[in-house]
């Protein structure tokens, strides 16, 4: 299908595939001087299917170059899918850990597999695959997927999602180094009561001595009245040595929209921990030949035990200040700026939390961000379908100052509230090219900054 743009909906700095379907980020890693992003990909269509690993590299995690597919379905143990997984570097080699889904005769068994590269372009699946299969007792034979592997000294550690009669859970495994890559042993389990029937895409890391776990839980969203069954949580584990029966002591949603899913993290060479999530869509936006995109990479910071997300600092390099029209004599604080399709917008607002705020495209109902002083919440209205507007709400805010940062990139918005304490993001579909972004507040005392970044 050729792309016919009514307007250009392909985001500028949010990763998209050249064409066709994309879901989870996989194998996010720094190897051979570059960031590598692999992703669940359908080479043959704009819907989910034929799961393979797409591949791209970048120097700043914002501008990506596409590389050939890293892995496709070509082995008996992955004929029905090369599912999600992760990457590590060891002795200048790049190791990809993934879930192979076997063909029909084997009843779609999911097992953990490995592929290796020494040039970061061509990956060879190991002869010893699969390296770990579910036994039907501690790990389900069918639902057992998404290995996230890291190294501690010479030891390999791995978390894998699965389920049992009590619901979704994460198994923790260890192996005695790369030489024993096919001898992973179960050392613990992480679970949470009444929290969905299956978990996916686990990730575990520590920040300032805090053990943090991210997982995507299936079967919790509709119960909360959301438009997606599965949503992403971040949880604290009360220890950094993960083994044994572990209970999540505290958890909250990573994103208060429902498009953000299956994030994966990476430790950057300078120590920053960044996550990237799949912004899910069911079908392509109008006139587009690609489906799904990645979020802007978000740095995770833990300050006094509270988790904050910030758009990756590298974004600032591409942004310059945009002039704002400010109507001084108006009793209301009304601001606006011209909307240009070749820019990504980064709008920040600080105001007294006793004022209402509204940010929207003029004359286009696809996107509206509101802060309601009576509700004390941020509300995002987005239209992705002609007939439906979805509304997402932040938790109740209790600060005296409202601090909002809104990033708009053509067809995706990410809102960082209270310095990233809460995030709401969503894909939206404009019907026409708006010519202004307008900001309305109750009076003129707000601090408003708008920055824009050009397509490079
Ligand atoms: C999450 C997920 C993973 C799986 C992959 C398949 O979105 O369902 O659990 O590995 O997608 O594409």
Please, which residues have CB within 8 angstroms of residue 270's CB and are 6 or more apart in sequence? none
Choice from 200, 202, 229, 294 to test ligand 1 binding pocket (greatest atom count within 8 A of CB): 200
Give tens-digit pLDDT for 148-187: 999 999 999 999 999 999 999 999 999 999 999 999 999 9
Mean pLDDT on 70-96 = 97
45 C-alpha to center of ligand 1: Å? 17
Which residue in the list 24, 78, 143, 409 is annotated as catalytic? Answer: 24
pLDDT in the model for residue 392:
96
136 closest CA partner among 103, 109, 158: 109
24 is catalytic: yes
Mean pLDDT, all residues of the chain: 91
Residue 39's pLDDT band, with cuts at 50, 70 and 90, is: very high
- Strands 20-31 and 290-291, by their bridges, are parallel
Residue range 298-324: average pLDDT? 92
For residue 405 and ligand 1, the question of a CB distance below 6 A is answered with no
CA 400–ligand 1 middle distance (angstroms) = 41
Nearest CA to ligand 1 atom 8: 200
Spacing, Cα 452 to ligand 1 middle (Å): 34
Residue 374: predicted pLDDT: 96
pLDDT confidence of residue 82 = 98
Q: Is ligand 1 within 6 A of the CB of residue 200?
A: yes
Residues 401 and 321 sit within 8 Å (Cβ to Cβ): no
Ligand 1 pocket: which of 43, 145, 264 to mutate (most atoms within 8 A of CB): 145
Per 3-state DSSP, what percentage of the chain is helix, strand, and coil (rounded to 5)? 5, 55, 40
What percentage of the chain has pLDDT greater than the value 90? 73
How do 81-90 and 64-71 pair as beta strands?
unpaired
CA of 279 to the centre of ligand 1 (A): 13
Between the CA of residue 444 and those of 44, 147, 381, what are the distances in Å?
53, 52, 24
Tokens linked to 451: 């920055």
Alpha-helical (H) ranges within 212-262 are none
Question: Are 181 and 235 contacting, i.e. CB atoms less than 8 angstroms apart?
Answer: no
The pLDDT confidence band at residue 311, using thresholds 50, 70 and 90, is very high
Give the 3-state secondary structure of residue 267. Answer: strand
Residue 95's pLDDT is 98
Query: Cβ(143) to ligand 1 under 6 A?
Result: no
Give the model's pLDDT for residue 3: 44
Which residue(s) pair with 35 in the sheet? Answer: 30, 58
Q: What percent of the chain has pLDDT over 70?
A: 95
Q: Which of 54, 100, 62, 65 is nearest to 80 (CA)?
A: 100
Atom of ligand 1 nearest to the CA of 278: 7
User: Does the pLDDT value for residue 375 go beyond 90?
Assistant: yes
Strand-pair partners of 395 = none
Distance 445 CA to ligand 1 centre (A): 47
CB-CB contact of 392 with 426 (8 Å): yes
| The pLDDT value given to residue 427 | 96
Report CA torsion sign: 67, 68, 74, 79.
Answer: positive
Question: What is the average pLDDT across 20-43?
Answer: 98
Distance CA 344, CA 409 (A): 5
123-139 pLDDT, tens digit each: 999 999 999 999 999 99
Residue with tokens 């995770």: 300
Strands (E), 43-143: 52-58, 64-71, 81-90, 93-101, 110-117, 124-125, 132-133
Please tell me if the CB atom of residue 23 comes closer than 6 angstroms to any atom of ligand 1: yes
Query: 97-106: per-residue pLDDT in tens?
Result: 999 999 876 6
Q: Is the pLDDT of residue 329 over 60?
A: no
Please indicate whether residue 448 or residue 82 has the higher confidence score (pLDDT): 82
Q: Which atom of ligand 1 is nearest to the CA of 280?
A: 7
Q: Count Cβ atoms within 10 A of the Cβ of residue 413 and give its class: 0-12 exposed, 13-18 middle, 19 or more buried.
A: buried
Instruction: Give the model confidence (pLDDT) of 63-72 as tens digits.
Output: 999 999 999 9
Q: Quick: pLDDT tens for 155-164.
A: 999 999 999 9
pLDDT band with cut points at 50, 70 and 90 for residue 13: very high
Q: Would the pLDDT of 378 be above 60?
A: yes
Average pLDDT over residues 391-401: 96
Q: Is the CB of 24 under 6 A from ligand 1?
A: yes
Give the pLDDT of residue 5: 42
Mutate to test the pocket of ligand 1, among 82, 113, 144, 146 (most ligand atoms within 8 A of CB): 146
Ligand 1: distance of its center to the CA of 21 in Å? 13
Using CA atoms, how far apart are residues 223 and 438, in angstroms rounded to an integer?
A: 35
Looking from the CA of residue 85, the nearest atom of ligand 1 is 10
Ligand 1 centroid–CA 81 distance in Å is 10
Q: Which residue has the higher pLDDT, 447 or 425?
A: 425
Q: pTM for the full model?
A: 0.95
Ligand 1 atom at shortest distance from the alpha carbon of 200: 9
Give pLDDT, residue 2.
Answer: 44
């Amino acid at each position: 299908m050729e792309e016919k743009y009514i307007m250009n909906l392909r985001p500028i700095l949010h990763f998209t595939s050249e064409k066709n379907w994309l879901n989870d980020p996989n194998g996010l890693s720094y190897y051979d001087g570059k960031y590598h992003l692999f992703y669940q990909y359908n080479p043959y269509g704009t819907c989910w299917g034929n799961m393979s690993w797409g591949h791209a590299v970048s120097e700043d995690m914002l501008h990506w170059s596409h590389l050939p597919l890293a892995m496709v379905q070509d082995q008996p143990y992955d004929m029905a899918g090369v599912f999600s997984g992760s990457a590590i570097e060891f002795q200048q080699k790049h190791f990809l850990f993934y879930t192979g889904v076997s063909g029909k005769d084997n009843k779609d068994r999911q097992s953990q597999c490995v592929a290796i590269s020494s040039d970061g372009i061509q990956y060879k699946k190991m002869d010893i695959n699969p390296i770990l299969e579910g036994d039907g007792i501690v790990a389900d034979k069918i639902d057992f997927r998404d290995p996230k592997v890291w190294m501690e000294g010479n030891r390999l550690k791995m978390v894998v999602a699965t389920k049992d009669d009590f619901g979704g859970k994460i198994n923790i495994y260890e192996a005695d180094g790369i030489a024993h890559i096919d001898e992973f042993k179960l050392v613990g389990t992480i679970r949470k009561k009444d929290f969905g029937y299956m978990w996916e895409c686990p990730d575990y890391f520590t920040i300032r001595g805090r053990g943090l776990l991210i997982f995507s839980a299936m079967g919790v969203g509709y119960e909360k009245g959301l438009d997606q069954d599965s949503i992403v949580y971040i949880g604290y584990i009360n220890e950094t040595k993960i083994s044994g029966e572990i209970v999540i002591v505290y958890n909250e949603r990573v994103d208060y929209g429902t498009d953000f899913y299956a994030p994966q993290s990476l430790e950057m060479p300078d120590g920053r921990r960044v996550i990237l999530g799949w912004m899910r869509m069911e079908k392509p936006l109008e006139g587009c030949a690609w489906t799904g995109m990645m979020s802007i990479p978000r740095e995770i910071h833990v300050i006094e035990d509270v988790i904050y997300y910030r758009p990756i600092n590298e974004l600032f390099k591409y942004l310059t200040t945009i002039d704002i029209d400010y109507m001084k004599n108006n009793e209301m604080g009304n601001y606006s700026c011209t909307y240009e399709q070749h820019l990504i917008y980064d709008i920040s607002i600080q105001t007294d939390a006793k004022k209402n705020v509204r940010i929207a495209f003029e004359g286009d109902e696809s996107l509206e961000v509101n802060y309601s002083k009576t509700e004390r919440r941020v509300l995002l209205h987005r239209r992705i379908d002609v007939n439906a507007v979805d509304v997402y709400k932040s938790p109740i805010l209790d600060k005296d100052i409202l601090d909002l940062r809104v990033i708009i990139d053509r067809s995706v918005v990410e809102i960082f509230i209270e310095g990233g304490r809460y995030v709401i993001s969503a894909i939206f579909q404009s019907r026409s090219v708006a010519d202004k972004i307008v900001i309305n507040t109750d009076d003129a005392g707000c601090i408003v900054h708008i920055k824009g970044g050009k397509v490079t």
